[in-house]
């Protein structure tokens, strides 16, 4: 997928909050493909091919997508059933919204916004504009496991605003239905995360993005740490993150006041949780850089590359393994049991069967309590869902 090196919308969640990141990104070398990135590209390719067939009004898009399993995408990655299943969740949601109005569905469309910056552009997975309701639908398909929400998502806002700007829709204040489709993330927010808003309501997001652009263009870039650092490939060169790391060490050495108030404990936990997250992002960025340098043969004092191994697997067939156990009088056979309820529901859904029947014969057991940060966003999401 194409994106701008400076103000690409795929990175808007980073540069929209940290103009300093652009200074580092413009000369950041492209990292080689990883197994995870190749799998993500392959899943996107499957979704794109199915949507193209949908636009051509192919009778059975599902069956066509299923036929891609075992084939290779343009980069040579073998398409797996997991890739197809995830892509189908994305495609199915689009087909339900679009219906027969396939002419107004745009797949892998590049959009740009001169209002934000001449270099502000990107390629969205899918757009659909419904003129009858003045509603623009935007989809972004994520194959990864790390949670991404639709609400306040700068990437989706950038895509939506650019589409409206290019098609002279700004003045009509279209309703926006912004969607992140993330079938392999199990954070309790569902596979399709939807945020309903409007062009007028996202102007604040656009202004924030424009402010960040102005800082960079005016040679006044600022480095600001936050949750966005987790996705910044340049964090290994970021002085602000390094400063956070040194502050964490200082804080860890401070004594704790006896009998602190609830407010004090909550504040300290928030500080520590935030610090750990930002340290993790820098650690991951440094790990990637060190790995690539060692692979190139560069010496790195104190580190080396070691081979990792999977769990031990049988190299003989099942009957041979059973025979070995029988000879030694050890039963190596597993007990036959059904697949998990979650797997069963997925199998039902794949066959077009109402998976809710599984709910009557399965349950989730409480395993304990988990301390969760509460900033009020969950309540806002529940009470504002589907409303402008």
d(CA 79, CA 143): 13
In a domain, 2, yes or no: no
Whether residue 170 sits in one domain with residue 261: no
Q: List Cβ neighbours of 215 (8 Å cut-off, separation of 6 or more).
A: 19, 221, 222
Whether residue 101 sits in one domain with residue 18: yes
In a domain, 364, yes or no: no
Section 105-126 average pLDDT: 96
Per-residue pLDDT tens digits for 357-376: 888 888 887 776 566 666 66
Q: What value, to the nearest 5°, has the Cα angle with vertex 42 and ends 24 and 91?
A: 105
Least confident of 15-29, 74-88, 359-373: 359-373
Per-residue pLDDT tens digits for 305-354: 888 777 777 888 888 888 988 888 888 887 777 877 888 777 777 777 88
Please check the confidence at residue 146 and state whether its pLDDT lies above 80: yes
Please check the confidence at residue 32 and state whether its pLDDT lies above 90: no
Domain boundary among 201, 220, 239: 220
Please check the confidence at residue 388 and state whether its pLDDT lies above 50: no
Whether residue 213 sits in one domain with residue 170: yes
Whether residue 271 sits in one domain with residue 159: no
Q: How many domains does the chain have?
A: 2
Please give the residue range of the domain that contains residue 284.
227-295
Whether residue 51 sits in one domain with residue 196: yes
Q: How is 151-204 classified by DSSP, letter by letter?
A: TT-HHHHHHHHHHHHHTT-GGG--EEEEEEE-TT--SSS-SEEEEEEETGGGHH
Length of the chain, in residues: 388
Q: Give the pLDDT band of residue 382 (cuts 50, 70, 90).
A: low
């Amino acid at each position: 997928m194409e994106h701008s090196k400076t103000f690409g919308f795929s990175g808007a969640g980073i540069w929209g909050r940290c103009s300093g990141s652009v200074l580092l990104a413009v000369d950041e070398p492209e990292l080689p493909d990883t197994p995870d990135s190749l799998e993500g590209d392959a899943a996107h390719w499957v979704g794109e091919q199915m949507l193209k067939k949908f636009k051509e009004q192919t009778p059975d898009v599902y069956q066509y997508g299923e036929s891609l399993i075992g084939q290779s995408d343009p980069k040579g990655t073998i398409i797996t059933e997991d890739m197809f299943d995830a892509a189908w969740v994305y495609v199915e949601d689009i087909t339900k919204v679009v219906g027969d109005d396939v002419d107004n569905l745009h797949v892998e469309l590049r959009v740009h916004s001169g209002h934000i910056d001449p270099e502000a552009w990107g390629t969205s997975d899918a757009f659909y504009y419904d003129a009858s309701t003045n509603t623009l639908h935007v989809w972004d398909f994520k194959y990864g496991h790390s949670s991404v929400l639709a609400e306040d998502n700068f990437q989706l806002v950038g895509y939506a605003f650019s589409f409206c700007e290019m098609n002279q829709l700004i003045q009509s204040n279209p309703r926006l239905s912004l969607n992140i489709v993330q079938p392999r993330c199990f954070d309790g927010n569902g596979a399709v995360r939807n945020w309903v808003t409007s062009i007028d309501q996202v102007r604040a997001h656009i202004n924030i993005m424009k402010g960040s652009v102005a800082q960079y263009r005016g040679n006044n870039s600022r480095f600001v740490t936050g949750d966005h650092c987790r996705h910044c490939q340049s964090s290994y060169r970021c002085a602000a993150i390094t400063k956070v790391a040194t502050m964490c060490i200082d804080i860890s050495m401070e004594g704790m006041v006896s009998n602190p108030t609830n407010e004090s404990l909550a504040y300290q936990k928030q500080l520590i949780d935030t610090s750990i997250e930002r340290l993790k992002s820098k650690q991951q960025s440094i790990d990637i850089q060190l790995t690539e340098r060692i692979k190139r043969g560069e010496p790195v004092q104190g580190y080396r590359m070691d081979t990792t191994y999977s769990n031990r697997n049988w190299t003989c067939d099942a009957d041979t393994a059973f025979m070995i156990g029988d000879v030694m009088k050890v039963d190596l056979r597993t007990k036959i049991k059904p697949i998990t309820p979650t797997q069963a529901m997925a199998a039902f859904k794949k066959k077009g069967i109402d998976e809710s029947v599984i709910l009557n014969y399965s349950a989730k057991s409480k395993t304990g309590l988990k301390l969760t940060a509460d900033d009020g966003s969950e309540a806002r999401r529940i009470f504002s869902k589907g409303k402008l």
